[in-house]
Amino acid sequence: MYTHDSPYHRIHVSDANGVRSLRFEHNRQSSMYLDDPFETDIDYCGYMHLTLAVQPEAASALVIGLGGGSVVKRMWRDYPGMRLDVVELDPEIVEIARVLFAVPEDGRIRIAVEDGRAFLSRSAENYDIIVVDAFDDDRIPRPLLTEEFMRLCRDRLAPGGVVAWNVVGTVTGEYSKPFRCLHRTASNVWPRVWTFAIGRSESMPDAVHNVIVLASDAELTDEEFESRIADRVGGRVSVPGFGRFGEDLYRGSVRTGDVPILTDPLAKGPRRRR
Domain-located, residue 6: no
Domain-located, residue 222: yes
pLDDT, tens only, 204-213: 889 999 999 9
Residue 202 confidence class, pLDDT cut points 50, 70, 90: confident
Domain-located, residue 24: no
Burial zone of 19 (CB within 10 Å; 0-12 exposed, 13-18 middle, 19+ buried): middle
Domain-located, residue 122: yes
Residue 199 confidence class, pLDDT cut points 50, 70, 90: confident
Q: Which residues contact 160 (CB under 8 A, 6 or more apart)?
A: 54, 55, 128, 216, 217, 218, 219
Q: Residue 64: enclosing H or E segment and its boundaries?
A: strand 60-64
Q: Is the pLDDT of residue 273 over 50?
A: no
pLDDT, tens only, 32-67: 999 999 999 999 999 999 999 999 999 999 999 999
Query: What stretches of the chain show up as alpha helix (H) in DSSP?
Result: 44-47, 50-54, 70-78, 91-100, 116-122, 147-156, 177-187, 222-230, 232-235
Q: Which residues contact 39 (CB under 8 A, 6 or more apart)?
A: 32, 33
Per the structure, the count of domains in the chain is 1
Domain-located, residue 21: no
CATH number of the domain enclosing 200: 3.40.50.150
Domain that holds residue 169: 44-248
Domain-located, residue 51: yes
Q: What is d(CA 251, CA 196) in angstroms, rounded to the nearest whole number?
A: 9
In a 3-state reduction of DSSP, which class is residue 196? strand
Q: 19-24 and 27-33: which strand pairing?
A: antiparallel
Domain-located, residue 113: yes
Q: 39 — phi, psi (to 5°)?
A: -105, 150
Domain-located, residue 32: no
Q: Which residues contact 253 (CB under 8 A, 6 or more apart)?
A: none
